[in-house]
C-alpha cells in the first residue's frame, strides 16, 4: 500500500494533462468532475496511507520509494524518489484534502467562466507540484516541484489575463519568487558540489559530519536556501507579491494561501532543520525577519478595504508566526500552526468567496454590511475562520496552534514573544474589523442560494477548524500531544508548556483586540475610516509600508531604464554610423551617374587634366 504513494502526485498530474489536452473539447461539467476527482482520489489515497501508517509505522519511521535514476555523473548523481515521513505525511494530508475541497468549491464558484477546463488543469497541476515538492527525497526533485508551484501560481494569478493589471500581478508574483529561487538554486548547487548528491538525508548527515555548528559554509547555504523560502512564503523583504496575487480567482487564493505555495518555505526549513541548526545566525535572522513580517502584516491588514487583501496580509502574518517558531527551533509547533492555518485560511477565503459570489464579485468590505442574516452559512464559516485566525481561546484550532507556538517562543526569547502577542492583538482587531463591517450593521441586498458544492466544503472545513486544535492542547486543557507525537520521530519531542501568566496574556491579547474592533464598530469608526479619503500614513500602511515604492525605485525603474537604453543596442549604433556614412556617400555619388554624355566628357577631361598636372608638377 505504501508503494502506491507515487499515485498521490501522479493522479492530479494526470488530471492536469488530461484537462490540458482535452480542455476545449469536453463539456464543463466533465472537466470539473475530472479536476475534482483526481485530487479527491489522491486525498483518499493519502488518508488510507496515513491510517496504515498510524496503525503500524514502518521501521525508522520513514518510507522511501525510489523511482528511477535521473542523473548519473562521475561526481554527482540524482535519484528520483518519494519519501514518506511524519512531516511529509502531514503535509500531503493537508494539501490533498484541503485541495480537494477547494476544487469542489471552485466547481461552483467558477461556473460559467471562460476557460473552465483550463482553470482545473492549472489547479490540478498546482496540487501535483506541491505534492511532489513535499514528497521529494532529493533537493533536485523538490526544486522541480518548487518551480512547478511557481509556474502554476503565475498561471492562476493571471487567470483573468484579459485585464492588464492581473497580468502584471502574475508577473510580479512570478518574478519576485524567481529572484528568490535563484538564491535557493545557488544554495542547492553548493550542496551538490560539496556532497556529490542532493539526497536530503545524505546531505544532512554529510553536513553534520563535515561542518561544525556556526561555521561559514552552513550559514551561507542555509541563508541562500532561506531566501528561496522567504520568497515563496512571502516574508519580509520578499513579501510584496502576495497582496497583488489577489488578482486571481478567490479559490486560487485559498489554494495558494492554505494548502500550497506559501507554506513551501516553512516546509523547506523544517525539512532541512538539521542544516539550519548548524547556522544559528541564520536562525536568528529568521526570527527577526518573522517578527518584522508579523508587525508589518498586522499594521497593513488594519487599513485594507478589500476583503481579500485583509486575508492576504493575515496569511503573511500567520506565516510570519510559523517562521517565528522556526527561528527559535520549534519545528513541531510551526508545523502544527501550518496545518491549522491551512484549514482556517482555506475556510476564510472560501467563505469570503462565497460572500462575493452573491454580491457580483464585490470585494470592498465597505460595500457590504448586515450579511449575517442574509448569508448565514457564509457568516458562520467566516466567523469560525476569524475566531481561529484571531486565536480566540478554546474555540478554534488557531488558538491551540498559536498557544503552542508562542509558548515555545517564550521559552527562547521573551522579546520575540512580545512581538507575537502584539501581532495577535492586532490580528484580532483587523479580522474582526472585517467581520463587523461585512456581516453587521446596515444590510445590502443579496440574491441566490448556495449549491452543495459550496455548502459541503464550508461545513467540513468549519468543523475541521473547530476540532483540529484538540490534537495538541496545553496542559490546562488536557495536555493532548497527538500531533507532536506523530512528528516526534522526525522533529524531536514537544516543547515544554508555557507558564500560566504567559498563557493568560496570550489568551487575553486577541480578546482585547476583538473588544477594540467591536468598540470601534459600535461608534462607527470603521465606516468613517472607509468613507474618508486616506491620509498619508494610512496610504503608507495600505501599500505595505512602502516596500513596493522602494522596490520600484531601486529595482524596477533602473531595470526598465536599462531596457530602454539597450533596446536600440548602443554598441550597434557605432557600426550603424559606418553604414549610414556609406549610404550617404552612395546617394551623393549616384547623382553623378545621370546618363548625361556631356557631363561625363567634362569630368573625363577634368580628370585627364588633373592627371597631367599631377605628372608635370610632381
Tell the smallest beta-carbon distance from residue 615 to other proteins (Å): 17
Specify the residue, 360 or 590, whose C-beta has the smaller distance to other proteins: 590
Residue 590 interacting with other proteins (CB under 8 A): yes
Task: For residue 1, give the 3-state DSSP assignment.
Answer: coil
Residue 555 contacts residue 176 (beta carbons within 8 Å): no
Segment lying near other proteins (by CB under 8 A), choices 3-11, 16-24, 563-571, 589-597 = 589-597
Specify the residue, 48 or 599, whose C-beta has the smaller distance to other proteins: 599
Chosen residue from 594, 616, 617, 618 binding other proteins by CB under 8 A: 594
User: Residue 311: how many CB atoms within 10 A of its CB?
Assistant: 27
Tell the smallest beta-carbon distance from residue 591 to other proteins (Å): 9
Please tell me the number of Cα atoms within 13 Å of 367 on its side-chain side.
13
Residue 317 contacts residue 344 (beta carbons within 8 Å): no
Q: How far is CA 594 from CA 142, 583, 584, 586, 608, in A?
A: 74, 18, 17, 14, 20
- H or E stretch covering 262: none
Chosen residue from 598, 614, 616, 618 binding other proteins by CB under 8 A: 598
Residue 3 contacts residue 65 (beta carbons within 8 Å): yes
Tell the smallest beta-carbon distance from residue 614 to other proteins (Å): 20
Tell the smallest beta-carbon distance from residue 562 to other proteins (Å): 41
Specify the residue, 536 or 597, whose C-beta has the smaller distance to other proteins: 597
Specify the residue, 71 or 606, whose C-beta has the smaller distance to other proteins: 606
Residue 589 interacting with other proteins (CB under 8 A): no
Residue 595 interacting with other proteins (CB under 8 A): yes
Cα–Cα distance, 504 to 499 (Å, whole number)? 9
Tell the smallest beta-carbon distance from residue 549 to other proteins (Å): 55
**Distance between terminal CA atoms of the chain?**
105
Tell the smallest beta-carbon distance from residue 598 to other proteins (Å): 5
Residue 584 interacting with other proteins (CB under 8 A): no
Tell the smallest beta-carbon distance from residue 167 to other proteins (Å): 47
Tell the smallest beta-carbon distance from residue 169 to other proteins (Å): 53
Tell the smallest beta-carbon distance from residue 579 to other proteins (Å): 19
Specify the residue, 281 or 605, whose C-beta has the smaller distance to other proteins: 605
Question: Does a cis peptide bond (omega within 30 degrees of 0) precede residue 237?
Answer: yes
Segment lying near other proteins (by CB under 8 A), choices 241-249, 292-300, 437-445, 596-604 = 596-604
User: Residue 130's Cα: distance from chain center in Å?
Assistant: 11
Residue 583 interacting with other proteins (CB under 8 A): no
Chosen residue from 593, 616, 617, 618 binding other proteins by CB under 8 A: 593
Q: How far is CA 480 from CA 325, 340, 476, in A?
A: 20, 16, 10
Residue 472 contacts residue 481 (beta carbons within 8 Å): yes
Cα–Cα distance, 137 to 80 (Å, whole number)? 7
Segment lying near other proteins (by CB under 8 A), choices 109-117, 340-348, 557-565, 600-608 = 600-608
Site string for other proteins, 374-413 (x = CB under 8 A): ----------------------------------------
Closest to 496 in 3D by CA, of 341, 336, 330: 330
Chosen residue from 597, 614, 615, 616 binding other proteins by CB under 8 A: 597
Count, residues near other proteins per rule CB under 8 A: 10
Tell the smallest beta-carbon distance from residue 602 to other proteins (Å): 6
Residue 605 interacting with other proteins (CB under 8 A): yes
Tell the smallest beta-carbon distance from residue 587 to other proteins (Å): 9
Look at the alpha carbons of 366, 370, 371, 376 in this order and tell me if their dihedral is positive or negative.
Answer: positive
Q: How far is CA 171 from CA 125, 184, 242, 385, 549, in A?
A: 19, 20, 12, 30, 17
Segment lying near other proteins (by CB under 8 A), choices 413-421, 478-486, 555-563, 591-599 = 591-599
Residue 586 interacting with other proteins (CB under 8 A): no
Task: For residue 263, give the 3-state DSSP assignment.
Answer: coil
Closest to 152 in 3D by CA, of 271, 16, 353, 8: 16
Cα–Cα distance, 212 to 214 (Å, whole number)? 6
Cα–Cα distance, 199 to 221 (Å, whole number)? 15
Segment lying near other proteins (by CB under 8 A), choices 135-143, 392-400, 520-528, 598-606 = 598-606
Segment lying near other proteins (by CB under 8 A), choices 108-116, 204-212, 216-224, 588-596 = 588-596
Specify the residue, 30 or 605, whose C-beta has the smaller distance to other proteins: 605
Residue 596 interacting with other proteins (CB under 8 A): yes
Q: Please list every residue from 278 through 307 that binds other proteins, using CB under 8 A.
A: none
At CB < 8 A and 24+ separation, what contacts does 508-512 make?
A: 509/421, 509/422, 509/424, 509/425, 509/428, 510/390, 510/391, 510/392, 510/393, 510/424, 510/425, 510/427, 510/428, 511/392, 511/393, 511/428, 512/425, 512/428
Chosen residue from 601, 610, 612, 613 binding other proteins by CB under 8 A: 601
Residue 616 interacting with other proteins (CB under 8 A): no
Chosen residue from 376, 492, 584, 602 binding other proteins by CB under 8 A: 602
Tell the smallest beta-carbon distance from residue 613 to other proteins (Å): 16
Q: By CB under 8 A, name the binding residues for other proteins.
A: 590, 593-598, 601-602, 605
Amino acid at each position: 500500500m505504501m508503494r502506491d504513494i507515487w499515485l498521490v502526485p501522479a493522479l492530479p498530474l494526470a488530471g492536469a494533462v488530461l484537462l490540458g489536452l482535452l480542455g476545449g473539447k469536453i463539456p464543463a461539467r466533465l472537466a470539473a468532475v475530472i479536476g475534482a476527482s483526481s485530487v479527491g482520489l489522491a486525498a483518499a489515497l493519502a488518508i488510507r496511507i496515513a491510517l496504515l501508517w498510524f496503525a503500524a509505522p514502518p521501521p525508522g519511521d520513514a518510507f522511501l520509494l525510489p523511482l528511477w535514476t535521473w542523473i548519473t555523473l562521475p561526481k554527482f548523481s540524482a535519484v528520483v524518489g518519494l519519501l514518506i515521513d511524519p512531516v511529509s505525511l502531514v503535509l500531503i494530508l493537508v494539501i490533498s484534502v484541503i485541495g480537494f475541497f477547494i476544487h469542489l468549491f471552485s466547481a461552483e464558484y467558477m461556473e460559467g467562466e471562460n476557460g473552465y477546463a483550463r482553470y482545473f488543469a492549472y489547479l490540478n497541476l498546482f496540487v501535483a507540484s506541491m505534492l511532489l515538492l513535499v514528497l521529494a527525497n532529493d533537493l533536485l526533485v523538490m526544486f522541480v516541484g518548487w518551480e512547478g508551484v511557481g509556474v502554476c501560481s503565475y498561471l492562476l494569478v493571471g487567470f483573468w489575463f484579459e485585464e492588464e493589471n492581473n497580468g502584471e500581478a502574475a508577473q510580479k508574483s512570478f518574478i519576485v519568487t524567481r529572484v528568490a529561487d535563484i538564491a535557493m538554486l545557488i544554495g542547492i548547487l553548493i550542496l551538490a558540489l560539496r556532497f556529490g548528491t542532493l539526497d536530503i538525508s545524505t546531505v544532512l548527515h554529510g553536513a553534520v559530519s563535515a561542518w561544525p555548528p556556526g561555521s561559514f559554509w552552513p550559514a551561507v547555504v542555509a541563508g541562500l536556501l532561506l531566501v528561496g523560502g522567504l520568497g515563496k512564503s512571502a516574508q519580509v523583504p520578499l513579501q510584496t507579491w502576495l497582496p497583488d496575487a489577489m488578482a486571481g480567482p478567490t479559490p486560487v487564493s485559498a489554494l495558494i494561501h492554505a494548502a500550497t505555495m506559501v507554506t513551501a518555505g516553512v516546509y523547506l526549513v523544517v525539512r532541512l532543520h538539521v542544516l539550519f541548526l548548524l547556522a544559528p545566525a541564520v536562525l536568528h535572522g529568521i526570527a527577526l525577519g518573522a517578527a518584522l513580517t508579523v508587525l508589518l502584516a498586522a499594521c497593513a491588514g488594519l487599513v485594507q478595504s478589500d476583503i481579500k487583501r485583509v486575508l492576504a496580509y493575515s496569511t503573511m502574518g500567520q506565516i510570519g508566526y510559523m517562521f517565528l517558531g522556526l527561528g527559535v527551533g520549534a519545528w513541531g509547533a510551526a508545523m502544527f500552526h501550518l496545518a491549522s492555518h491551512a484549514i482556517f485560511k482555506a475556510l476564510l477565503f472560501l467563505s469570503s468567496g462565497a460572500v462575493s459570489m452573491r454580491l457580483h464579485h464585490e470585494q470592498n468590505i465597505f460595500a457590504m454590511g448586515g450579511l449575517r442574516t442574509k448569508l448565514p452559512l457564509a457568516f458562520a464559516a467566516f466567523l469560525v475562520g476569524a475566531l481561529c485566525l484571531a486565536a480566540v481561546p478554546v474555540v478554534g484550532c488557531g488558538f491551540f496552534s498559536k498557544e503552542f507556538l508562542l509558548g515555545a517562543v517564550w521559552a527562547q526569547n521573551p522579546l520575540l514573544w512580545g512581538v507575537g502577542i502584539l501581532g495577535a492583538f492586532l490580528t484580532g482587531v483587523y479580522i474582526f474589523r472585517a467581520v463587523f463591517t461585512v456581516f453587521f450593521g446596515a444590510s445590502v441586498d443579496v440574491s441566490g442560494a448556495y449549491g452543495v458544492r459550496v455548502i459541503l466544503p464550508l461545513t467540513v472545513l468549519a468543523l475541521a477548524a473547530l476540532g483540529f486544535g484538540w490534537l495538541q492542547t496545553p496542559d490546562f486543557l488536557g495536555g493532548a500531544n497527538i500531533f507532536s507525537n506523530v512528528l516526534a520521530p522526525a522533529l524531536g519531542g514537544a516543547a515544554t508548556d508555557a507558564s500560566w501568566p504567559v498563557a493568560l496574556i496570550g489568551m487575553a491579547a486577541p480578546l482585547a483586540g476583538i473588544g477594540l474592533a467591536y468598540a470601534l464598530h459600535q461608534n462607527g469608526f470603521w465606516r468613517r475610516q472607509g468613507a474618508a479619503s486616506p491620509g498619508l500614513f494610512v496610504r503608507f500602511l495600505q501599500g505595505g509600508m512602502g516596500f513596493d515604492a522602494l522596490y520600484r525605485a531601486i529595482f524596477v525603474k533602473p531595470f526598465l531604464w536599462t531596457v530602454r537604453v539597450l533596446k536600440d543596442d548602443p554598441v550597434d549604433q557605432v557600426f550603424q554610423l559606418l553604414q549610414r556614412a556609406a549610404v550617404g556617400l552612395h546617394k551623393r555619388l549616384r547623382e553623378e551617374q545621370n546618363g548625361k554624355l556631356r557631363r561625363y566628357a567634362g569630368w573625363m577631361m577634368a580628370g585627364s587634366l588633373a592627371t597631367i598636372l599631377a605628372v608635370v608638377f610632381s
